[in-house]
Amino acid sequence: DAKTTQPTSMDCAEGRAANLPCNHSTISGNEYVYWYRQIHSQGPQYIIHGLKNNETNEMASLIITEDRKSSTLILPHATLRDTAVYYCIVRNGGGSNYKLTFGKGTLLTVNP
Amino acid sequence: GAGVSQSPSNKVTEKGKDVELRCDPISGHTALYWYRQSLGQGLEFLIYFQGNSAPDKSGLPSDRFSAERTGGSVSTLTIQRTQQEDSAVYLCASSLKRPQGETQYFGPGTRLLVL
């Protein structure tokens, strides 16, 4: 699976949009971009995933650049409960990619 | 159920004792996975089930670790003769069908502390 690069930490004011970037310049054509987050002392939580089109669900939006080498997770109105480590991973549809591995991720701190 | 559930949520045991950790996957999910996460570390894959069979047990750290799944649903991870290095959060995840490419949904984890 392609490697991803994320900032170590970010801060966001409560109620504002949080924009979390991820670089995946070596992504291949059949690899999806997935986002998970892990709130302290909880299990990882699936947020969203996409291949090449932008995606939106009740939690977030995912913007993938046209060349697919980077993406941005957007939390439109961050709350204090969104403070967590956010993981961007890329996965293809075959092989043993079911063995999820998370990198260091981005620690997002939402401030009052 | 609405999500993956795990029990117990916390377990404290003495070195040398056996422990059993339980996972209830999302209803209808045929693939089930066990991971563990040590403090401040990433995910470590342990085993995956497709139905009741385990095609990949490659991540089990030693023969003290075993897992089974019955009825294509509940899974139990057993650790025999626990050691202090077994202390970690044990996470279970499930996905709808074939594991490749399917979204995995995680449970809250079982925090195991071996004294």
Average pLDDT, consecutive stretches of 10 residues, N- to C-terminus, chain A (112 residues): 88 97 92 93 93 94 96 97 95 74 93 96
The reported pLDDT for the residue numbered B87 is: 96
pLDDT of B32 above 90: yes
The reported pLDDT for the residue numbered A110 is: 98
Between chains, do A95 and B106 touch, taking CB under 8 Å as contact? Answer: no
The reported pLDDT for the residue numbered A98 is: 80
The reported pLDDT for the residue numbered B45 is: 92
Identity of the residue in A45, A98, A103 whose CB atom sits nearest the CB atom of B99: A98
Cα distances (Å, whole numbers) of residue A3 to A6, A28, A40: 10, 11, 24
User: How does DSSP classify residue B83?
Assistant: -
The reported pLDDT for the residue numbered A1 is: 59
Tell me the pLDDT tens digit for each residue of B37-60: 988 778 899 999 999 998 889 999
Residue showing tokens 């998970």: A36
User: How does DSSP classify residue A78?
Assistant: -
Mean pLDDT of chain B: 92
The reported pLDDT for the residue numbered B49 is: 92
Bridge partner residues of B41 (DSSP): none
User: How does DSSP classify residue A3?
Assistant: -
Between chains, do A100 and B45 touch, taking CB under 8 Å as contact? Answer: yes
pLDDT of B1 above 60: no
Interface of B with A in 34-53 (CB under 8 A): 35, 42-43, 45, 48
**Does A45 contact B at CB distance below 8 Å?**
yes
Q: Do residues A33 and A49 make contact, with C-beta atoms less than 8 angstroms apart?
A: yes
Tell me the average pLDDT across B95-105.
76
